[in-house]
Amino acid sequence: MFHSIPTEKLGPLGEPMAKAVSACVHCGFCLAACPTYHELGQEMDTPRGRIVLMKEVLEGKMSFEAAQPHVDRCLGCLACEPACPSGVPYRDLISPFRALAASKMKRGLLERLRRFLAAQTVPFPWRFRLAAKVGQIGPIRRMTPRFLKPMLDLIPEQIPPAQSWAEVNHAIGEKRARVALLTGCAQQVLDPDINTATIEVLTRNGVEVVVPRLQGCCGGLAWHTGDLAAAQRFARHNLRAFPDDVDAILTNAAGCGSAMHEYHLVLRGTADESRAESFRHLVMDVSVFLMKLGLREPLRETKLKVAYHDACHLANAQNVRRQPRDLLRAIPGLELLEITDAHLCCGSAGSYNMDQPEIASSLGEQKARAVMATCAGVVVTGNIGCMTQVAMHLKKLGSPVQVKHTMQVLRDAMLQSL
């Protein structure tokens, strides 16, 4: 698409944004893949429509405020990227644009307050745990103002007890590799067993797992909501916290892995850009690493029927679809089922279900119904956000389907009969 975006005035992120705009040929192949088009059916809520809107704003022909409702409604699910025959790198446009918009326009007071509260709690496990516990108290829940209710709705009834992990978890048997693990922030509060299962699976397969003490939030929430300064702080912190002398830096939450893969963009034009570039090449989803390494530990037979849900930030952002499925298929007897309209986001998308609760709820319910239609006993995915969202909607629909992480199913197949 021809444009006249003044990249030199837009800072280090101007060039990637302009490149993404110029790659779009306006063909519309992405429309069918876009969940907001599916929900709202209007051009301005499609990838193509948003690209035009952002182009107009970047060229100075439209105000940020005019484009913002449509840009806000974008889930950042990146379903448009694999659907695009021209290879438009939509991710190079949407998050940098949000960062620019955040510096140029002021949101309403309640909106700012809600975003501030999310930014000050979710990325910090002990604060998030405290907030989640307080939010469970009946009278507090009832007194919570309406604009904060979507945040509380995401908190499960039971917050599991905190777990901690050794800084070095030794390989069992012959050592085959050494990795560092990102433990996530919301994940370690909502379901700390995911990290325990991941470490168990890795160590039993001969991998030494380092859990860096000083690691912090991946910065994904900040990056995807336009808080560039905070995203850069988190990214820099992790660049220093994670060791270099490992075979890989592993993530077991799709959103975190996707954000760490974008550190080069977050830190573009800063002194840390080249370190971020080499760092991101070490980052890998745990399923990819395990498939490369090969499973050594025997897996017990099961009769489990499992539906696999593609987390957008794993399937679209990291192109990881085959590896989790192959790991599950490696369990003897396990029946792997596909979910109809698998490409549609479940509506979790980071903080989306707090920002756009109606669309998020509609997508969540559709995903839960599609899971139920498979007649699976368990739905498995690789992202805590999807797990929380799908579990919440399955429960609302009265479904007994369990929600598990790929590593939990694999660990259970190693330790016990499923």
115 binds ligand SF4 (CB under 6 A): no
Which of 6, 25, 126, 341 is close enough to bind ligand SF4 by CB under 6 A? 25
231 binds ligand SF4 (CB under 6 A): no
Q: Which stretch binds ligand SF4 (CB under 6 A): 22-30, 148-156, 271-279, 299-307?
A: 22-30
32 binds ligand SF4 (CB under 6 A): no
| DSSP assignment string, 297-358 | S-------EEEEP--HHHHTTS--SHHHHHHHHTSTTPEEEEPTTTTS--S-TTTHHHHSHH
224 binds ligand SF4 (CB under 6 A): no
Q: Which residues pair with 340 in a beta bridge?
A: none
53 binds ligand SF4 (CB under 6 A): no
268 binds ligand SF4 (CB under 6 A): no
The burial class, CB within 10 Å (0-12 / 13-18 / 19+), for 12 is: middle
Which of 47, 96, 219, 385 is close enough to bind ligand SF4 by CB under 6 A? 47
What lies within 8 Å, CB to CB, of 225 at 6+ separation is 98, 102, 115, 119, 350, 351, 355
Among residues 276 and 359, whose Cβ is nearest to ligand SF4?
A: 359
2 binds ligand SF4 (CB under 6 A): no
Give just the sign of the alpha carbon dihedral 23, 26, 32, 35. Answer: positive
313 binds ligand SF4 (CB under 6 A): no
Which of 13, 21, 30, 260 is close enough to bind ligand SF4 by CB under 6 A? 30
Contact 42, 79 (CB under 8 A): no
Least CB distance from residue 84 to ligand SF4, whole Å?
A: 3
131 binds ligand SF4 (CB under 6 A): no
| Beta-strand relationship, 378-381 and 305-308 | parallel
Among residues 169 and 353, whose Cβ is nearest to ligand SF4?
A: 353
Q: How far apart are CA 107 and CA 312, in angstroms?
A: 28
3-state DSSP call for residue 249? strand
Give me the sheet containing 168-169, strands edge to edge.
Answer: 168-169, 207-210, 177-181, 248-251, 283-285
Among residues 89 and 156, whose Cβ is nearest to ligand SF4?
A: 89
For 274, half-sphere exposure in the C-beta direction (CA atoms, 13 angstrom radius) is: 1
Q: Which residues pair with 208 in a beta bridge?
A: 178
260 binds ligand SF4 (CB under 6 A): no
Q: Which stretch binds ligand SF4 (CB under 6 A): 68-76, 133-141, 223-231, 245-253?
A: 68-76
Running DSSP on this structure, what letter comes out for residue 385?
H
386 binds ligand SF4 (CB under 6 A): no
Which of 7, 10, 22, 29 is close enough to bind ligand SF4 by CB under 6 A? 29
89 binds ligand SF4 (CB under 6 A): no
Residues that bind ligand SF4 (CB under 6 A): 24-30, 33-36, 47-48, 50, 74-80, 84, 86, 88, 90
